[in-house]
Structures are given as structure tokens and as C-alpha cells.
Structure 1
Amino acid sequence: MKKLTLMAVAISVALTACSNVSDKTSTRTADNRATDTRDTGAQDTGAKYAESWDDLAQVDERPKWFQDAKFGIYTHWGPVSTANIGLEQGAGWYGLMMYMDEAYDWKNGIKRKRNGKTFPSGIYKQHTKNHGHPSKVGYKDIIKKFNPSQFDAELWAELFAKSGAKFAGPVAMHHDNFAMWDSEVTRWNVKDFNGIDVTGELKTSIEKRGMKFLASFHHAFTWVYYANAYQFDATEETADLYTDRHALTDFKPSKRFHDEWYAKLVEVVDKYQPEVIWFDWWVEELDEEYRKKFIAYYYNKGAEWGKDVVVSYKNTSFPSSVGVYDYERGRPNKLKDEYWMTDTSPGAWFYRQNAQFVEPNEIIDILIDIVSKNGLMLLNVPPNPDGSIPQEMQDMLLNIGQWLNMNGEGIYETRPWKAFGEGPTRIRAGGHKVEKQKIAYTDKDIRFTRKGDNTLYMFVLDKPQADIIVKTLSTDLTLLDGEIDSIEMLGSGQKVHWQHNSEGLVINKPHTIPNDYAVGYKINLKIAKEIGIGGEDDPQ
């Protein structure tokens, strides 16, 4: 039996016996669990940061490498992917909805009704049809069906590198509480069930290709996710998967849940040293002391490793002084002072039968819009249940990579300009889920980025149908810090013909366009030096 060993802190977690899992893991019983003996306010001797928000505000929460990266990838994959096989409509929240024999507005504690009668959720009905009644075939049994036979970390990492991503990694743990790493903290892990360490293999393959490593965590919401399971197949013996017995409307997690949440994070930090920890929602519902404790632990580990690590969060999980705010499938409609990020997906989050993906053009336009507003894109890749990546996703990632090969100079290592852009197409209101608006950018929509003071990049978000007129750069305005010296089209050696006047910057319609997506230009500025700085006489 494995021993519970966490490198810099003694952490023990409630692990209860379960006779329904493999013999390999059944030896981890309640006799081997322990509790977290550290006081949540304690601090390791010699640690750089104390467990307080004021002290943690000293961290460099937006390190340069992260602001330079602009584009990363993560992967929603695991038992949920298998659960969705054969379903008419897949679900990322499968473990929540499969136990809804009566559809429920759980946020407001209201049962849904049609014609005055309750009804089961669609996933409950489909699960019963395809897998069996949830009292007989619960989520613990879905885990046993997960078969990642085609997973190849080298192929994944090579594809991510070709896409132009600067960091990448797995969803280490989704709401289903299943660890996609070789865990000594929880028996519900991919190594014990499937014989592979997905997180470890990806770390090696990703870092081999010069990308930094990310691990994402969604298990704070597990407390809600499985609450109804006790009406079906959950028992006290499976509480280490399904959490402690509680009502669906009881949003206050137990101490055991907090301890396990923390211990899983620490294990991944110690074992895999990710440069980015990304958090999904519901962390804000956990006790603040646990949140402070983990943030301090992670940043102290980063200092110990000599790495500039990053925490990304949603809602009010953490103060902005200790992490980078994330918009899910969204973005602001204006330039933001503080660097931020978006997580999005070209289709469903997890595998879905007959999945529909957006076109690469849409993802590229969104990426440009994000970067122009001082943000970063984290793009989801949803592998097939067996671990292979859908051909449509492979083609999309390669197309994005080809575009970035030509235009990445205006994306990577850039900073926002004074104005993010111009044009008729705007998000009506910024925030989460604004991609539902499904806007389509035109050749009149322009976005800007910059490097230093003398290099401005400009992207036209559709193939130009006529001369390009950039009103923001009119000589009547004073946004440019100097005269335009020259203009180049990114990814093309053709000469750019242009005029600069009170109408704006007018660029003649290009004869050829090097790609099927947004067109990038590099505008080189001639900056006049200030005079008289040394006290010399008036040069006039």
C-alpha cells in the first residue's frame, strides 16, 4: 500500500474504504486516513509569504512570462468523456445531472415543473437508458468504464506546440473528483484504475517542447456535484468520491472536504511543479483560511523552485493582488488595466457525440480581441473518450499555429496600446459567457497591440475588400507617439502602399493575403528625441 507523503507539509486526508473499486486500491481504508494537523493559520518556518492576503500581495501575480505568453491550452478529458458516449446530448456536469430524477433548480432550491408536475433531467433519462439506473450504475461505475487506450502524451504535446501555445496541461481534477494523476491522496485516480499517469506524462512531453506546464482544478464544486448521489448509489464507504452526505442545498462543505481539497492541490504542486494553477468556480464558497493557506503554499513553493508561478481564478475566489482573473467563454468589451485571461472552448467542454466546432477564424479573431484588451486565451481541447484528439480539433490547432507562425510577432510579448481597436462590431456588454452573442468581425474591425513605444501592430479581422482606413490613426488625433516610418504586412514580403492624413491611416488593398484569416501589419514609428534634457542651449 502506498504511503501518504507530501513533500513540504504533513497532510493527511480522510480516505474511506470502498469494496466496489479494484483490488489494487481497496487496501486504502479508513484506518489509513489522517487529518490535517496543521493549523490553517500556521506558516512554514522560513517561508517567504505568510498566510495573509496583505503579505501575499507582495507576490508578482502577473509575471512577465505569463503576460508574454498570450495563448495556452488545457484539456477536458476523463470519465465524463466516457459517460457521454452514445448520448443524444452530452454534459460536462454529468455527475450532477445523472442523479436528478426530478429536475432541480439547485441554486434556488426549487424543483422544476411542467404542467404542474416534476420531471427527470435529460441526462438522468439518457444515463438510465445507456448505462443503467443510477442506483445500479452510479458514477463510480462510470469511472471503471473509462478506457484511455489511445492516450499519447507525445502526440498531444507535439500538437499543442504546433498550435503556438506557450503553456499547456490537463484538467487535473474536474467536478467528478477523479484525479488524472498518480495519487497517494485519493484512490480515485487514473494511475490506479488505468495504469497511466496522465498529468506526469503530459508534464514531461510539454516541457520537453519548451512550453510551461499548467494544471487546472474544478473540484471545489464537487460538494454540490454529487449531493444527490446518496439517493441512489452513494454510501459512507464511497464518501471519499461522493463527499460527505448532505442536502443539495447545503452549500457549506465539511472540514473533511476542505482537507481533501487542499491535500489534492498540494500533492500536484509537490509532484509536478506546475507554473500555472487554474481554478474553476466555487472556490469562493470554501473557507477563506484554506484558500489563503494554499495560495501561500504554492507561492512559497514557486519561490523555492525559482519559478514565477501563476494562479488564475473566477468570481471572488481570491483578491486580484494574488492572481489573474478569468472570464469563462467571455471577455471585457474594453481595455483593462490589469492583465486577465479567458478560458474558452471551440465546442463542448467534454467529448460530445457528433460535436460541432467553430471555425478557426472565430478562435483567431477572439484571440486577437483578447490580446488587444490586455488578456490571454486558454483554449480547451476535448479529446475523445479513448484519448485520441478529434481530427477537427487537430486541424483547428494546426491552422491556429500556422497563423501564429506568420503573425505571432504582433501577439506574443506584446502589450496593449492606448486604444484596443476600432470598428462597428462590438460586444454589447463584457463579462462571462458573452461568446453566446456570436458576433462576426468584418474588414472594418481593427485591433492594436504594441512593443515598446516605436512598434505598433494592427490586425484587420477579415480579408480586406477595399483600401483599409484606420480612423484611430488620423493625423488630426494625437494617439501616435511619432511619425510613421514604414509599414510591413506580417507573413508577407509584398510592399505596403499607404498614406497618412486627416482621414486616417489609409493602406491600399493588398494584392495577395498570406492566409485565410486576420491580416496583420507592423507599423514602425520614428520617435523624436526630447531636447534640452542636459541643459544645453535652445537648438533654435
Structure 2
Amino acid sequence: MSEPFEPTLESLRTFACPDWFRDAKFGIWSHWGAQSVPRAGDWYARRMYCEGTEQYRYHLRTYGHPSEFGYKDLVRLWKAERFDPEALMDQFAAAGAKYFVAQAMHHDNFFNYDSAIHRWNSVRMGPGKDIVGLWKAAADRHRLPFGIAEHLGATYTWSAVNKGSDEHGPYAGVPYDGNDPAYADLYTTSRLEGRAEAVKVDPWYAADPAWHRHWLAVISEVIDRYQPELLYSDGPLPFGAQSYEAGLQAVARLYNASAARHGGANQAVYNQKDRDASIYQVGVLDIERSQEPDIKADPWQTDTSIGDWFYDVRDVYKTSAHVIELLIDIVAKNGNLLLNVPQRPDGTIDVECSTLLEEVGRWLAMCGEGIYGTRPFRVMGEGPAAVRIDGFTEEAVQWTSADFRFTRKGSTLYAFQLRWPEDGRAVIRTLTPADKVRSVRLLGHGEVEFEQAYGVLVARLPDRAEAEPVSCLALEVPSLR
């Protein structure tokens, strides 16, 4: 069988999003690795080498100076001793997740699988476990499409700070352990351009062709070994405008491998963050901790977390209501929500995360009919409130009972009323006189009485909502077929 995709922009732009992804709407992500060990949040492997940051001070006072106890030593403390992927996948499936994504590696360059290319991995040291393989087995048991996230593209420049030294204090001028060539395979050979590099985020992708070749070899290994139906790159198509050849080869490999498993039809999805460079769009747009302002013609995805990306004991989590409201607003705009659940270093999740998952699962069991397998209506919704689109801004919206978000499936229009009305009425003004409603159901309750004049629909609701925090009306509109 010939391969349907070539590693070119022209060929990969023919990608069509598979129905499983469009129908799934809600996925769960394990953004987990050795950086969870300190319980001090995201980017620890970088910021522990940035003098003056909170994580530098924490590392100095907890483990010692990074010239004496570096990240190479910290990864060996990760044991994942209570990691139970089967039990966790049970929780994720019960929460309503329809796909699952495991992290293969973060920018820290420590791999969560048994790589033949890279010795710094979770089988040869630390947990002694193939984390990715264990996740895949658990996802396969639940028949959840399995995805893999890679953050390796930015590693080369991201890790340059480990070649520095303190400017002040008793360790001033003492080189960090990243300067030791014995550990260059973990710390990379990148060098600092100046002290300013130690505190700012470096250019996202390295221009070094050797790194491009290394990245492609690693991602090819992951694709061949775990056969993912989703591959997430934390950034644009590698390596952006510098050279996207490696990225194109990886995406073609992903799609062709999937097509070989599915009778010639690709079922895989590549997630990329080329929001402002559509020329490189060869998969599904991913937007980190933000979203689209309106319906997007092509399917897309928001990725976010209940709290910080890596476990942080200081964290303040989103509420289940906030997560549900995000999901509704995103799905109404033709998007999916990929939600990270922070794991402690031992592999468990805390009671707050478990409770949130239970609450989201209960709501989806009642109102998931209006989420799964739906497509956008002609408008995303109505009402005065809207999410704020501003970088990584994710604050909860002060919705009103006049705010609705719409989805549809066949002749059924689903209207999510984002706050329960004090007067017990749902007033929907978007419908036209041609949209004659035959019946109205309140999901979790049953049929309700309604009136419709000049398109405007007024439904009379029961005394209280069975589905909290957001209720959903299912309107039968024969003309929508």
C-alpha cells in the first residue's frame, strides 16, 4: 500500500481532521515527569539554574547549590512508586474523557519511556518504568485514542541556563553542573549568549541542524514504538521558519503510520501552535490556556490544566464549574478541551483533583448529549458575557442567565444556559421564525413547556436545575436537518 502523505507542505495540507477527534470534545493529559519531584511547579529544570527565582531559592535550600546537586541528581529521586495507570484511567474515563495524552518528554530532556537513543529516561533511572507504555496499555483497555506530547523542540535553547553560574553570594562564579561535558547528553551543548539569557525565555527553537536531526530521530522512535493517534508539539511545527523539514517528516510519519493501521485512511491528529502562521498548518491548531473568540471553521483545541502544569503545593486549582464552562464555550466554537490533571511525584492525584473529576463526570453524564458528537450551530451563542482572549488569561467569566452557548446534532439544537434564571425562564432570541421548535427537553429532567413567537423561544423551567452548574435545553427543530 502506498503512503498517502509526503513530507511536504503541499501534501500535508490535505490533512482532514478525523471524526473521532471532532466527536470526542474532551481529553485528559498527563503532563508529568521528573520535574514534579520538588512539588514546586512548572519549568523547574530551567529556573533552578536562574539565580534569584523562587525555584532557584527552593532548590538551594532543599537540595543544595546547582553546582553540587543539579537536575541530573534530581531525576534520580523520581520514583513514581504509587503510579497506578489503570486506576487513574478509570477515573479519567468516568470523568468523561474521550481521549488521553501522555507526556513523552518535557523541555527538561528526561524521557518517560525506554529510549534506545537517550539514556536519561524513566526505565534506566528514576522510576524504572516505561511510563508512556503503561499509559498506552491503560488507554487501550478503555478504547480511548492514545496521544503523546513532546516538548523536545525547545529543549536545546531552554537548557542553556544550566551552563551559567551565580553572580552573587558564596557561589559567585562557580559553574553550574551543566558545564560538565560528562552530562552533555542531558544538558545539551547549548551555551549562554550573556547573562540576560539566564532569566529570559530563549528563542523557542534551535537553529542547530544537528538538533533538528536528533529531534526527528527521537520523535520517529516514539511514533514507531507507541503508534499514537495524536501527537502534540509544544510550539509551532518544528523548527519554524528556520527549517521545518524535520517537522514535516515527523508529521508525515505519524499520518502514514496511522493510515497503515486503518486501511489507508489516516486517523491521527497532529497538534501544533502555528496560530499566526497558517502557511505551516498541517494539523489541528492548539491554543495553550486560551481559545478562539468565535466559531472557527476548522476543528481546534485548547490545552490547559486544573492548576500549574507540574504539581505545586502552593497551587490554587480551577473549580469544576470553571472547567465545565470552559468546555461548553470551547465546544460551541468547534473546539476540544485537553485538560491536564497534575500528578504528585509518586504518581497519585490529590483529593481536590479527584473531586473535580467526579463533579465534571457527573455533569457530563447528564449533559454530555449536548457535548459529544456535536457540531457548531450557525452562531456560538447569545448574551452579554464572553471569555477574555488575552494571552494565557483564563479567569472565570461572570455569566448571566441571558448567556447561552449552542451546539447541534442533527435536528437537535442544544442551548446551554450558563446561569440558572431567578425567574425560572430560559429566553432564547437567536432562533428565526423559520426555526419552528417542536419540543424542548431539559437534560436530566425531561420535557418542559415553552412558547415561541417570531422565533423567540421562552421555556418554563422547574424550580431547580438537576444539572449544575450549567443546565442544557435540547430543542427539536425539524428544519435544522
- Residue 79 (structure 1) aligned to one of 12, 34, 59: 34
Cα displacement (A) at 1:321 = 4.7
d(CA) in 2 for partners of 1:305 and 1:526?
39
d(CA) in 2 for partners of 1:510 and 1:145?
55
Structure 2 counterparts to residues 93-492 of structure 1, below 5 A = 93-101=43-51, 120-193=52-125, 194-231=127-164, 232-234=176-178, 235-247=180-192, 251=203, 252-281=206-235, 283-285=238-240, 287-306=243-262, 307-315=266-274, 319=279, 321-428=281-388, 430=389, 432-435=391-394, 437-452=395-410, 454-473=411-430, 477=432, 482-492=435-445
Return the letter of the residue paired with 2:61: K
d(CA) in 1 for partners of 2:480 and 2:315?
55
1:141-190 per-residue CA deviation (whole Å, 9 max, x = no partner) reads 11011121010010111011101111002111111111111211111111
Cα displacement (A) at 1:431 = 5.5
Cα displacement (A) at 1:64 = 1.0
1:44-73 per-residue CA deviation (whole Å, 9 max, x = no partner) reads x9432222100122222x111110010001
1:3-53 per-residue CA deviation (whole Å, 9 max, x = no partner) reads xxxxxxxxxxxxxxxxxxxxxxxxxxxxxxxxxxxxxxxxxx943222210
Return the letter of the residue paired with 2:420: K
Structure 2 regions of 5+ residues with no counterpart? 165-175
d(CA) in 2 for partners of 1:126 and 1:439?
34
Find out whether 1:526 has 2:478 as its counterpart.
Answer: yes
Structure 1 regions of 5+ residues with no counterpart? 1-44, 85-89, 102-119, 530-540
The count of residues paired between Structure 1 and Structure 2 equals 453
For the residue of structure 2 that corresponds to 1:466, the secondary structure is: coil
Return the letter of the residue paired with 1:217: E
For the residue of structure 2 that corresponds to 1:483, the secondary structure is: coil
Check the 8 A contact 1:332/1:431 in 2, yes or no.
no
Check the 8 A contact 1:331/1:432 in 2, yes or no.
no
d(CA) in 2 for partners of 1:432 and 1:413?
29
Cα displacement (A) at 1:201 = 0.9
For the residue of structure 2 that corresponds to 1:347, the secondary structure is: coil
Check the 8 A contact 2:404/2:415 in 1, yes or no.
yes
Cα displacement (A) at 1:504 = 2.0
d(CA) in 2 for partners of 1:225 and 1:526?
55
Return the letter of the residue paired with 2:295: L
CA root-mean-square deviation = 2.0
1:411-463 per-residue CA deviation (whole Å, 9 max, x = no partner) reads 000000011111121134x364131x4323232211100012x2111111122
1:495-533 per-residue CA deviation (whole Å, 9 max, x = no partner) reads 40111124821111322321321101110113399xxxx
Runs of 4+ in 1 over 4 A off after TM superposition: 248-251, 316-321
For the residue of structure 1 that corresponds to 2:124, the secondary structure is: helix
Percent of pairs identical after alignment? Answer: 35
TM-score (norm 1): 0.80
Cα displacement (A) at 1:94 = 1.2
Cα displacement (A) at 1:97 = 1.2
2:167 is aligned to none
2:18 is aligned to 63
1:168-215 per-residue CA deviation (whole Å, 9 max, x = no partner) reads 021111111111112111111111112211111111111111211011
Check the 8 A contact 2:212/2:239 in 1, yes or no.
no
1:91 is aligned to 41
2:170 is aligned to none
